[in-house]
């Protein structure tokens, strides 16, 4: 009798658990089940390389050592200490920040100016907007090759300068330590100002028209309306656009590698080019892994500071 009752209780508890499990599964939408495999795969792609990279940053390992990664000798923070005393690494990081600051600022000014221009109806407006967006459609490889040809000693840039000044001008921009950064900046700005323009134009088009009409009725000038009504409401859009561009330009590799390969010397070497050379040419994988985590930490701090005003404004609106 006791055995039967025990078996019956076990059966009932098992049945109860199964029914609860089935009810939970039935409440999960079918659309969620469709994305679960992809999400698991993406998590795998994120977690596994991150774990390997963290481990590599604390050991001394190269492919030429002939030993598995997890058998490499543990060196602690030696790679990090070496990077903080590596002038080439520090200059690459600072140079990347310099390029990012200059390029994003100019892209923002161009994008905002063109967005204000296109935030009104005029003949062939759609065609004009389409033409402005075309550079963004090109892959970085094509952009890099085009600007490489433009800035050759016998290229169109020098030819235009020669016609303006009235005598022959042949200057090797890409081989000059003082001016090699200019072609990179021109290429990056020309390639990605359309993204800033598109975001700014979308933000301007989304502004509530009632406030703009009220400002016109009250006699506000176009400049006053722009700086006192439009710009304050565009601040969240501007911050998001700047953060997106900063994240993208910080990874810039193609244009720099095609135009100068980080040269002459290391005067145009960005953090991506530096890591490529140290990691895939010198095979110092542990050193590069430590550098990647340092750069990630710096980027998180900088982008958090950039987004802080946006988060503060969002919290105020929610209150």
* 61-79 pLDDT per residue, tens: 888 888 888 888 999 899 9
User: pLDDT band for position 168 (50/70/90)?
Assistant: confident
User: pLDDT band for position 7 (50/70/90)?
Assistant: very low
Same domain, 306 and 165: yes
Asked if residue 192 is part of any domain, the answer here is yes
Residue 262 confidence (pLDDT) above 50: yes
Same domain, 99 and 219: yes
User: pLDDT band for position 316 (50/70/90)?
Assistant: low
Residue 11 confidence (pLDDT) above 50: no
Same domain, 132 and 220: yes
User: pLDDT band for position 137 (50/70/90)?
Assistant: very high
Q: What is the pLDDT of residue 186?
A: 95
Residue 201 confidence (pLDDT) above 70: yes
Comparison of pLDDT for 289 and 21, the residue scoring more? 289
Q: pTM for this one?
A: 0.84
Comparison of pLDDT for 8 and 248, the residue scoring more? 248
Residue 313 confidence (pLDDT) above 70: no
Same domain, 136 and 250: yes
Q: Mean pLDDT, to the nearest integer, of 186-194?
A: 95
Q: What is the pLDDT of residue 315?
A: 63
Asked if residue 175 is part of any domain, the answer here is yes
Asked if residue 69 is part of any domain, the answer here is no
Same domain, 163 and 283: yes
Residue 312 confidence (pLDDT) above 80: no
Same domain, 290 and 171: yes
Q: Mean pLDDT, to the nearest integer, of 232-249?
A: 88
Same domain, 11 and 119: no
Asked if residue 229 is part of any domain, the answer here is yes
Same domain, 92 and 32: no
Asked if residue 73 is part of any domain, the answer here is no
In three-state secondary structure terms, 258 is: helix
- Range with the lowest mean pLDDT among 114-118, 210-214, 239-243? 210-214
Tokens 């859009």 -> residue: 237
Distances (CA, A) of 285 to 48, 54, 279: 16, 11, 5
Comparison of pLDDT for 23 and 96, the residue scoring more? 96
Q: Into how many domains does the chain fold?
A: 2
Average pLDDT for the chain: 87
- Range with the lowest mean pLDDT among 5-9, 22-26, 219-223? 5-9
- CB proximity list for 117: less than 8 A, separation 6 or greater: none
Same domain, 33 and 160: no
Asked if residue 256 is part of any domain, the answer here is yes
In three-state secondary structure terms, 180 is: coil
C-alpha span between 236 and 238 (Å, rounded): 5
Q: What is the pLDDT of residue 14?
A: 58
Same domain, 173 and 36: no
Q: What is the pLDDT of residue 109?
A: 96
Same domain, 15 and 98: no
Domain assignment of residue 101, given as a range: 80-318
- CB proximity list for 271: less than 8 A, separation 6 or greater: 92, 93, 96, 250, 291, 295
Same domain, 25 and 105: no
Asked if residue 68 is part of any domain, the answer here is no
Query: Which of 103, 74, 86, 38 shows the shortest CA–CA distance to 242?
Result: 103
Q: Mean pLDDT, to the nearest integer, of 18-46?
A: 79
């Amino acid at each position: 009798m006791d055995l039967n009752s025990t078996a019956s209780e076990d059966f009932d508890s098992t049945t109860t658990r199964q029914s609860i499990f089935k009810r939970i599964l039935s409440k999960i939408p079918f659309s969620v089940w469709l994305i679960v495999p992809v999400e698991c795969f993406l998590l795998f792609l994120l977690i596994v390389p991150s774990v390997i990279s963290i481990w590599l940053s604390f050991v001394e390992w190269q492919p030429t050592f002939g030993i598995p990664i997890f058998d490499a000798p543990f060196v602690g923070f030696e790679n990090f200490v070496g990077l903080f005393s590596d002038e080439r690494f520090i200059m690459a990081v600072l140079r990347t920040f310099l390029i990012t600051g200059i390029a994003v600022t100019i892209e923002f000014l161009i994008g905002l100016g063109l967005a204000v221009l296109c935030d009104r109806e005029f003949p062939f407006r759609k065609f004009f907007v389409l033409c402005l967006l075309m550079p963004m459609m090109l892959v970085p490889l094509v952009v890099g090759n085009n600007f490489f040809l433009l800035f050759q000693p016998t290229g169109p840039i020098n030819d235009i300068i020669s016609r303006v000044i009235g005598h022959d001008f042949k200057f090797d921009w890409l081989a000059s330590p003082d001016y090699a950064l200019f072609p990179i900046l021109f290429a990056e700005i020309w390639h990605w100002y359309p993204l800033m323009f598109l975001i700014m134009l979308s933000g301007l088009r989304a502004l509530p028209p009632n406030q703009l009409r009220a400002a016109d009725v009250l006699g506000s000038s176009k400049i006053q309306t722009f700086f006192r009504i439009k710009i304050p409401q565009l601040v969240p859009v501007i911050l998001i656009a700047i953060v997106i561009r900063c994240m993208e330009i910080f990874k810039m590799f193609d244009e720099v590698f095609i135009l100068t390969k980080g040269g002459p010397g290391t005067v145009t070497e960005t953090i991506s080019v530096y890591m490529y050379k140290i990691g895939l040419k010198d095979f110092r994988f542990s050193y590069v892994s430590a550098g990647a985590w340092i750069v990630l930490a710096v980027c998180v701090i900088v982008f958090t500071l950039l987004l802080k005003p946006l988060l503060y404004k969002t919290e105020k609106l929610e209150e």
